[in-house]
Amino acid sequence: MTATSKENPRKTKQKTARGRPRDTSKNKAIINAASRLFLEKGFDGTSMDDIAKRAGVSKQTVYSHFACKEVLCSEAISLAVKRYSPDTALENVEEHSLEADLRAVCDKFARLLLGDDSVAMANLLVTSAPKGLEFAKIYWNAGPQAMHGKLQEFLQHWIDQGALSIGNTSKAADLLSTLLKGKVHFLRSIGLIDTISEKQIQENVEDTVKIFLKLYGT
């Protein structure tokens, strides 16, 4: 059973709603609790009772808002991804120089990629890979894919300025992500380190910028 095969119950609202209306604040509380718990403990490690309790709501209410665990997880992932959308990533880049701007962008994305929630999300997806291809798609499109687009935009700008010489911008953007994640992302994933330090992030950014400019700078 895939996450999409079961819809949110009573999704289609009648024109004139009869009876007591759904409490939207409870709906939010449930998704929020689910989002935190799934990221914290993974899909299997989180029980519906836990979620109900954390949301301060009865279990029946959870099932009244969400058909099953998979659907709830799916929505929780959507929420978490939205919280981390890189919409603002390129906004206050102030176009000083290629190197300064590249560093600013890398810094922003490194913090996104290496943040606790980001790693937790990756782990959640790995854990649920068998049962949740849908989960991964939601994440990939709203997260890394969106970020990839922003990076390409950024690179194109400096290519047009003649400061970068790149054959394949898509690949170059991928390279940036790969370099920023580096080795620490994986180490954190498997629990060999339990926090990615500020220093480590800065080091990754510096290395990435240096490598990237050496490869593609004009």
Partner DNA sequence: GAATTACTGGACTAATGAGTCCAGATAACC
Partner DNA sequence: GGTTATCTGGACTCATTAGTCCAGTAATTC
Answer yes or no whether residue 191 interacts with a copy of itself by CB under 8 A. Answer: yes
Answer yes or no whether residue 149 interacts with a copy of itself by CB under 8 A. Answer: no
**Comparison of 16 and 168: residue with beta carbon closer to DNA:** 16
Max Cα-Cα span within the chain: 68
Q: Which stretch binds a copy of itself (CB under 8 A): 16-24, 50-58, 102-110, 130-138?
A: 130-138
Q: Measure the CA–CA gap between 55 and 7, rounded to whole angstroms.
A: 21
- Closest by Cα among 75, 80, 93 to 120: 80
Residue 96 binding: pick among a copy of itself, DNA, none (C-beta 5-8 Å cut-off by kind): none
Answer yes or no whether residue 111 interacts with DNA by CB under 7 A. Answer: no
Answer yes or no whether residue 133 interacts with a copy of itself by CB under 8 A. Answer: yes
Token reading at 163:
């400061």
> For a copy of itself, which residue of 182, 200, 205, 209 counts as binding (CB under 8 A)?
182
Token reading at 201:
């992030």
**Comparison of 49 and 87: residue with beta carbon closer to DNA:** 49
Residues numbered 9-48 forming contacts with a copy of itself, rule: CB under 8 A:
41-42, 44-45
* 3 state DSSP class of 105: helix
Looking at the chain, list the stretches that DSSP marks H as alpha helix, in order from N- to C-terminal side: 24-45, 48-55, 59-65, 69-83, 98-114, 116-127, 133-140, 146-160, 169-181, 184-189, 198-216
Q: Measure the CA–CA gap between 111 and 109, rounded to whole angstroms.
A: 5
Q: Tell me 164's DSSP state.
A: B
> For DNA, which residue of 12, 19, 94, 167 counts as binding (CB under 7 A)?
19
For residue 11, the one-letter residue type is K
> For DNA, which residue of 49, 87, 116, 153 counts as binding (CB under 7 A)?
49
> For DNA, which residue of 8, 32, 64, 156 counts as binding (CB under 7 A)?
64
**Comparison of 32 and 177: residue with beta carbon closer to DNA:** 32
Q: Measure the CA–CA gap between 161 and 156, rounded to whole angstroms.
A: 9
If you compute the radius of gyration of the chain from its CA atoms, what whole number of angstroms results? 21
The footprint of a copy of itself (CB under 8 A) covers 41-42, 44-45, 122-123, 125-127, 129-130, 132-133, 136-137, 139-140, 171, 174-175, 177-179, 181-183, 186, 189-192, 207, 211, 214-215
- Name the residues that contact DNA, by CB under 7 A: 10, 16-23, 26, 45-49, 56-61, 63-65, 68-70
